[in-house]
Amino acid sequence: MNKTEATPSTDFIREIIDEDLEVNKNEGRVATRFPPEPNGYLHIGHAKSVCLNFGIAEQYGGTCNLRFDDTDPSGESMEYVESIKSDVRWLGFDWSDRLFYASDYFEQLYQYAVQLIKDGKAYVCSLDPEEIREYRGTLTNPGKDSPYRARSVEENLDLFKRMRAGEFEEGTHVLRAKIDMASPNMNMRDPTIYRIKKIPHYRTGDTWCIYPMYDFTHCLSDSIEGITHSICTLEFENNRPLYDWVLDQLKVYHPQQIEFARLNLSYTVLSKRKLVELVEKGHVTGWDDPRMPTLAGLRRRGYTPEAIQHFCERIGVAKRDSIVDIELLEHCIREDLNQGAPRVMAVLRPLRLVIDNYPEGNVEKLDAPYHPQNPDMGSREVPFSRVLCIERDDFREDPPKKFFRLAPGREVRLRYAYYVTCTEVVKDEQTGEVVEVHCAYDPKTRGGWSPDGRKVKGTIHWVSVAHSLPGEVRLYDRLFQVANPSGEKDRDFMRYLNPNSLETLTSVFVEPSLGGAAPGSRYQFERLGYFCVDPVDSPDTGLVFNRTITLRDSWAKIESKERSREG
Ligand code: ATP
Ligand code: MG
């Protein structure tokens, strides 16, 4: 399957692959992998890596492995494995039969470590963790050799075997690569490659009490799987010499590590450690809280996989870190839902509207198309009657300039229905709050147009009270109040949490066509935004809708401003 004709926009990684293919490196094979650690749910940053790795495999007719990088038993679990698998699938990618676990390589990795010891390239160090740090030196000062560096091969083999057998406590011994304590690259100063951890592993149980470190595991897992291009984020640039060193010492197949800039997104955090903290401290309802930047959260919020894929395409792949404006992500979902979401009417903050001259008991079924630009989406019947509700915001007793909606004496169009003129306002005697408005309708304006061609400036949406369905709506705002909550190292990102990131409205009226709406289905509530039927709480708790995104698209405005500046 060769999809290169489709030529998606290229980037420096694809250019490297093109050059490799030209010289027939790896016999023309392209093999990538996505290697998450199962210690949390995937977030939108991971989506960038998923789209990149699986996307490259698809484009070049290659393969992409899903590999769980599960060498640190603390915090890893099967729940996370399952969530990651379902998120990758939901995003639209398929690893087929190429599902791997680094933990399946534990024996093989152990044998590689033994090989390094035999070759005099690794030794058991018995400094304690504090001493190891001291001996390591600093960026400006070279480290010094561990007193255990000169241990004989026999002694090292014996100690390493006994480490495996569980004879020693955590922190008493580690296995270190013997490289160069004076290297300007701190990663090369005899890095630890195995440590004792007496924690059961979610897959291997208590078979092991020593676990290989990331730098040792990752390159060898890539090598075992025959990965050609091992794509990772920029933080690992300084680990590349170690990646190469391990593979060179062991003289095994040598994939190429390539680094790219990780995704940072404004108004949120993309670090599993921070996301775990949000979940554990109860600032969100869980990993799938619709305010979370996780794929589970975005999905529950109403995001489509297409919008996320499109977002990942648009941000591209660069070699320099930056923060992507969250409005670009919001723009992508708006664009997608604008095309595909049926339009319906719902009133979030209801105000009763009574049409005094409309016959009591009369009901008309008005035809309302699901999409103004797409007649193929069909239409539904919306019942109209004497008592409706409208949005509180759509009425002002004392309207300011440029307020074109309903006000005393003012005529507006009720969407798909009639022109109505406000004749009376009923207020609560105690509070003075408007509780009901009365109107007169013009029977000649059925469908929303008048035969005399007179114009009304405002069109408002409505729901017939007797026919409506009750619902709950959850309005989400950004989780953080500042663009870069992780920006200040010594300040806790939590202090920037937005206390108003969730508003729940419980007396919402929706049109009857939404009865039985499938969990997860998406709609545009006219004039209000895009909403999705909450897949967790609907239908048990009645109809619950999550607002995916408002209609206002400031990104589109920014873009058109930029275009006009360029043009
Ligand atoms: P976190 O910083 O959230 O803990 P991680 O790198 O520790 O992320 P892994 O499970 O190791 O999480 O990540 C799996 C893959 O996803 C890695 O290849 C990693 O480079 C990539 N990845 C993680 N975060 C991002 C991001 N923000 N942008 C792009 N790729 C990412
Ligand atoms: Mg990681």
Ligand 2 centroid to residue 271 C-alpha, Å:
10
The residues, any chain, with a CB within 8 Å of residue 199's CB and separated by 6 or more, are 73, 74
Q: What is the pLDDT of residues 418-454, one digit of tens each?
A: 999 999 999 999 999 999 999 999 999 999 999 999 9
Residue 5 has pLDDT above 60, yes or no: no
Residue 567 has pLDDT above 60, yes or no: no
Taking CA atoms, 423 is separated from 353, 434, 460, in Å, by 11, 14, 17
Going by alpha carbons, the residue nearest to atom 26 of ligand 1 is 45
Residue 337 has pLDDT above 50, yes or no: yes
Tokens of 155: 């002694």
Supply the pLDDT for residue 491.
83
Distance of CA 184 to the CA centre of its chain: 37
Supply the pLDDT for residue 3.
40
Ligand 1 nearest-atom number relative to CA 275:
3
Residue 37: what are its φ and ψ, rounded to 5°? -90, 130
Instruction: Report yes or no: 517 and 543 within 8 Å, Cβ to Cβ.
Output: yes
Supply the pLDDT for residue 566.
57
DSSP 134: H
**pLDDT more than 90, % of the chain:** 93
**What is d(CA 230, CA 253) in angstroms, rounded to the nearest whole number?**
13
Q: Which residues are catalytic?
A: 37, 262, 272
- Please report which confidence band the pLDDT of residue 534 belongs to, taking 50, 70 and 90 as the band edges: very high
Cβ–ligand 1 distance for 38 under 6 Å, the answer: no
Ligand 2 centroid to residue 397 C-alpha, Å:
58
Mean per-residue pLDDT, 546-551: 97
pTM over 0.85: yes
Q: What is the pLDDT of residues 99-145, one digit of tens each?
A: 999 999 999 999 999 999 999 999 999 999 999 999 999 999 999 99
- Please report which confidence band the pLDDT of residue 530 belongs to, taking 50, 70 and 90 as the band edges: very high
Supply the pLDDT for residue 7.
53
DSSP 358: S
Supply the pLDDT for residue 489.
80
Cβ–ligand 1 distance for 45 under 6 Å, the answer: yes
Supply the pLDDT for residue 562.
66
Residue 278 has pLDDT above 60, yes or no: yes
- Please report which confidence band the pLDDT of residue 262 belongs to, taking 50, 70 and 90 as the band edges: very high
